Amino acid sequence: MAIFYAFLNICQNNRLIVCERGKGDSMIYKLIILVLAVVIFGLISDVLLRRKFNIKKRRGLRSQWVNKGQASIELVLLVIYLVGIYFAIDSIFFYIIGFFTILNLFRAFMHWKYEPEKKQYILYLYELVMLLIFAAITYWWVFS
């Protein structure tokens, strides 16, 4: 629960404020319900997309890089992200969403450019759409 309280301290106007214990309980339950719904919907739709487009399953949870250039650029993006967190503390929610949007777009482009026959880019674009829908619902339902 402590992790959820830390996450939910980003309240109105995307400013870090100290919420009293008990006031954020309904937000925590809303967030838990939303995360469970997204995970269940994501797993089901992932299986359906893999069947429809005949996409093989990735090994492990991490991304399979198509070349060393992709790995290097992703490392640079990660360093920029970690350094930028310090400067974007007031709008951290949007900063995190922006980082994962750029990362998924980059991965989808690299897989589309260098391994289009594997069709892995379809899953990255789908993950991006799911992330943006999840972020919009979270911002509207949980933080409002």
Measured CA to CA, the distance from residue 54 to residue 60 in angstroms comes to 18
- How many Å separate Cα 50 from the centre of its chain? 20
- Rounded CA-CA distance 139/30 in Å is 11
The model's pTM is: 0.77
> What is the Cα Rg of the chain in Å?
17
Task: Note down pLDDT in tens along the chain; length 144 residues.
Answer: 444 444 445 444 444 444 455 556 677 888 889 889 989 999 999 999 999 999 988 777 666 889 999 999 999 999 999 999 989 888 888 999 999 999 999 999 999 999 999 999 999 999 999 999 999 988 888 777
Taking the C-alpha atoms of residue 77 and residue 31, their distance in angstroms, rounded to an integer, is 28
What would the two tokens of residue 13 be?
A: 């106007």
